[in-house]
Amino acid sequence: MKKHNFFAGPGILPGPVYEQAKQAIDDFAGMGVSILSVSHRSAEFSAVMEKARTLVKELMNLDDDFEVLFLQGGASMQFLQIPYNLMHKKAAYLDTGAWASKAIKESRYFGETVVVASSANEQYSYIPKGYPVPEDADYLHVTTNNTIYGTQMFDFPETEVPLVADMSSDIFSRKLDFNRFGLIYAGAQKNMGPAGTVLVAVRKSLLGKTGRRIPTMLDYETHIAKGSMFNTPPVFAVYVSMLTLEWVKAKGGVEAMEKINREKSRLLYKELDRNPLFNTKVRKEDRSMMNVTFDLTDESLRPEFDRMWKEAGIIGLKGHRSVGGYRASLYNALPLESVKTLVEVMQELEKKA
């Protein structure tokens, strides 16, 4: 049976990407060796790295001030690498969930950290709006999509302070003016590739202003100078990310991704609003297109619902361990058919109840 993969991360990737990656495990670029064994200094892999970086700039329409890096340590490493490289005296943060809170914690090791607003008072069920941003902040950090709680930012503050954005779970899923940002980062494993690499797009003009000495491996300028090849990069993760970026481009880019993602999320939210057996705590204006969180209104129905969705070939539907309930992750590669299957199960449960 075909599985309908709603895992939040590592998440589903496009079918053609799996096929290309499998081929490269046997024979990469006609070299007669596996992508898992090829030298990262080979011309063949150097071309992969360069193409991946170029595709990021193309799909996001980034201007010439941006440098694109594929690094290691995941988004969690960026929580400290960002203030290390960008904070001179003060940074501002918007607290919209667990990952934003972790970033705030790391920032406090480097200097004054101002939390401009938080939705913790309502279990992160909304995105704060209308908050002031300190004009003397070195940057404002936001998390564009909150995987655990199912909220997403659709508007960004108008400010002269550089915007830094964690886009780990909605990167390449919708059209934005990416040039509004000073730094964008995203763990690959939710919407771009396998676990093992993190994408960083940073404005060169923001670097070298902190007045501190930065350890070599944590200095963005180190990796910019070496084209993301200062040390051995995560070869396979970068290769699969490149394949996924090619797939996004072939499908029509981020505009095309947004169109289908809106269709998928509308279908599921429509059922959640209609079906009395389900609810979602997220405010309507802040509902994520990528991660739909919901729960049953009658706890006694949980065993039956769990049995039904598993029998339908659905996997990865359980919510994050910290909040419980259910979570359907609708990443770019998830077909509309999978969402329709989930909605049919929800409707069937209603008939039985």
Active site residue 99: yes
Q: What are phi and psi of 115, to 5 degrees?
A: -90, 105
Of 138, 166, 219, 286, which residue is the catalytic one? 166
Instruction: Answer whether the bond into residue 10 is a cis peptide, omega within 30°.
Output: yes
Give the Cα separation of 62 and 203 in Å (integer). 10
Residue 37: count other Cβ atoms within 10 Å of its Cβ: 10
Active site residue 340: no
Active site residue 284: no
DSSP string, 152-216: E-------SSPEEEE-TTTTTSS---GGGEEEEEEEGGGTTS-TT-EEEEEEGGGSS-S-S---G
Residue 66 sits at the vertex; the CA angle it makes with 61 and 70, to the nearest 5 degrees, is 95
Of 95, 138, 170, 190, which residue is the catalytic one? 190
Cβ-count burial of 187 within 10 angstroms (0-12 exposed, 13-18 middle, 19+ buried)? buried
What is the b/e burial string over 304-328, where b = at least 16 CB atoms within 10 angstroms of the residue's CB? ebeebbeebebebbebbeebebbbb
Q: What are phi and psi of 300, to 5 degrees?
A: -65, -15
- Which residues does 110 contact at the CB level (< 8 Å), separation at least 6? 80, 83, 84, 87, 91
Give the Cα separation of 263 and 69 in Å (integer). 32
The percent of the chain in helix, strand and coil, each rounded to the nearest 5, is 40, 20, 40
Active site residues: 99, 166, 190
